[in-house]
Amino acid sequence: MDRIFPIAALLMLAACTGPGSGLTGNDTGGIITWSPEHQQVAREWAADHCARYGKYARITSIHAQYGDYIGFTCQFDPRAARP
């Protein structure tokens, strides 16, 4: 019983902290919480995320203020939907 409490506490703490990196998404794309630091690595994070699904990342929006997000999509063709 003494060993169960610390393990349960760690699991609950991990669940409350969320993804940690500031990225939330699925196979179609996602969002990254905006900060100056996150904006510098957003393309890399999005590319790594989309690569899990065999896709390429495309940044679609950047709202450069705290509390906002950097949006991206995951696409099979890296040239798709390019303006």
The pLDDT-based confidence of 9 (bands split at 50, 70, 90) is very low
Q: What is the pTM of this model?
A: 0.69
Q: Which residues pair with 33 in a beta bridge?
A: 69
SS3 for the chain is CCCHHHHHHHHHHHHHHCCCCCEEEECCEEEEECCHHHHHHHHHHHHHHHHCCCCEEEEEEECCCCCCEEEEEEECCCCCCCC
Taking 60 as the threshold, does the pLDDT of residue 6 lie above it?
Answer: no
List pLDDT tens digits, range 29-75: 999 999 999 999 999 999 999 999 999 999 999 999 999 999 999 99
